[in-house]
Structure 1
Amino acid sequence: MPAPRPRVAIGVSLKMYLGPRRTREWFDEVLSLAADHPALASGTAELFVLPTFTELAALVAAAGDTGIAVGAQDLSWEDQGAYTGEVSGVALREIGCRYVEVGHAERRRLFTEDDRIVAAKLAAALRNQLEPVLCVGEPVRGTVEHAVEVCRAQLASALVNSASLPGPITLAYEPVWAIGAAEPAPHEHVRAVCAALREDVAGRPGSRVIYGGSAGPGLYSALGGDADGLFLGRFAHDPAALRRVLDEVAEVEGVPA
């Protein structure tokens, strides 16, 4: 019987901030801190990292059997063919990726990816046994009810091609208005939205709801168990800051030091 899945997921996207050398230096530091961190060693938490395409194979090899998962920030909706510049889910799976990000607000805004494209990419991830990190979130600040309505519509649209495709989803709630902001969305807002979204992914065993959007120390404990983890950005590009988040997870989950 496979080991139970870690309850907490901590993800880090490097976006396009770090070059190849700095990415590998950063990952070496992360491997060092993760080697004996109680939150990870106990199986309570899982750490996944999304570097740029050029560093995927190197980081997969470096991660080895440490338990740290590596994934991509994007993929093609097609598995092969004349698609210049694209990277397929087939290729990502072959080199050892376990996760792939789909539907981020920057992909929608900068590269005009609409609901149809997001749905096609989500299906491509699932059929290639990659776990999608599906980003959802309302564009402007409003009520919890409005946020839940928008996120549920985005989730339903993203899954339109995937009803027959098994596999868990990590749903990343990232209100667009909180991405890159000085502070995350209010704790009670995040808790209520994440709790509602959990109901929507319950039909896919192993699925989780995590929060992203200016996430950092102090947030995991404030979410009171209504989120299954955090999706970190620039804050976690400092390994010491990432350690503080993992320390907090260990404390909240009652993991002995």
Structure 2
Amino acid sequence: MGTVPERTLWVGVSLKMYFSHARAASWCAQIAEIARTHPATAGPDAPVKLFVIPSFPSIPAALAVAGDAVLVGGQDLATEDVGAYTGEVSGAELAELGCRVVEVGHAERRRLFGETEDVVAAKTLAALRNRLAPVLCIGEADVADPEAAAAECIRQIDSALSLARESGIGGQIIVAYEPHWAIGAAIPASDEHIRRVCMLIRAHLDASSDLSQAAIIYGGSAGPGLLTSIGDSVDGVFLGRFAHDASAVRSVLDEALALPAAGSPRAAF
């Protein structure tokens, strides 16, 4: 594992269902090459942890090129580890392949596929019991002031972790703040809104004994340039379509490397 630096930053990318398998494999190879040589991610003591989340069929191709510089994850997982669940993919299988992270509770899963908070809690538990770090997606549905938005986000975090806490199962948590109204928007939420909400969420995480080592990253139309503006309030960013050009990922890693090493230590793989 190496010595964890004072501040570990996270940069993640979800490809959703935008790429063909061939394009995803090529993109992952480009990202892996960037990660192997970029000072932000190269080496066991690198200050940035980079993770990529392709669609399920492209996970093996991503793992084949990832090496030690890139963590690979799944965009979803089943609530159960084995059984007659046609079309589902379990956390146990993702972990067996070599995945280290998995998205849980994305706004599109909630909206398009009817995932309830009970389902999100069950999937969070499934991730943790299989030693996968849940990228726990939370966010307010409608535009609200930062205090109200943070209160809703904190409620979602505690709800998602309810079953894991009851079971006494913990692990690395990556909280991805994505205001639902900002996902896919031309521009993200204002820097001031993001910073204030994330600072309030950070205070809640730090006050929770089982979450003090959790990371808080920002998604929701995040792209190059944003981390420089909000880097004092978050532990990284979760990129979407702005990362389809691999050079944008390099730019974000440049930004992450330029941020001061500040704040309390965060856990890292």
Q: Distance in 2 between matches of 1:131 and 1:102?
A: 10
Q: Deviations over 1:77-122 (max 9, x none)?
A: 0010111111001101000000000000000000000100000000
Q: Deviations over 1:149-195 (max 9, x none)?
A: 11011111101101111202000000001101111111111111111
Q: Distance in 2 between matches of 1:44 and 1:4?
A: 8
Is it true that 1:76 corresponds to 2:78 in the alignment? yes
Selected match of 2:113 from 93, 111, 114: 111
Q: Which runs of 4+ in 1 moved over 6 A?
A: none
Q: Distance in 2 between matches of 1:90 and 1:48?
A: 19
Partner of 1:61: 64
Partner of 2:201: 197
Partner of 2:163: 161
Q: Distance in 2 between matches of 1:242 and 1:154?
A: 29
Selected match of 1:182 from 176, 179, 186: 186
CA contact (8 A) 2:25 2:62 kept: yes
Q: Distance in 2 between matches of 1:220 and 1:231?
A: 10
What root-mean-square deviation, in Å, do the aligned CA atoms of Structure 1 and Structure 2 show?
1.4
Q: Deviations over 1:40-76 (max 9, x none)?
A: 12611110000000011221122123x2100000000
* Structure 2 residue runs without a partner (length 5+): 262-269
Q: Distance in 2 between matches of 1:101 and 1:76?
A: 11
Q: Distance in 2 between matches of 1:103 and 1:147?
A: 17
State the Cα distance separating 1:216 from its structure 2 match.
Answer: 1.1
Percent of aligned pairs sharing the same letter: 51
CA contact (8 A) 1:33 1:243 kept: yes
State the Cα distance separating 1:224 from its structure 2 match.
Answer: 4.0
Selected match of 1:88 from 87, 90, 98: 90
Partner amino acid for 1:120?
A: A
TM-score, normalised to structure 1, is: 0.95
Partner of 1:44: 47
Task: State how 1:133-152 maps to structure 2 within 5 Å.
Answer: 133-152=135-154
TM-score, normalised to structure 2, is: 0.90
Selected match of 1:216 from 215, 223, 236: 223
Partner of 1:4: 4
Q: Deviations over 1:15-52 (max 9, x none)?
A: 00001100011111111222211111261111000000
Is it true that 1:123 corresponds to 2:125 in the alignment? yes
* Structure 1 residue runs without a partner (length 5+): none
CA 1:96–1:217: 2 relative to 1, 3 Å:
same
Aligned length: 253
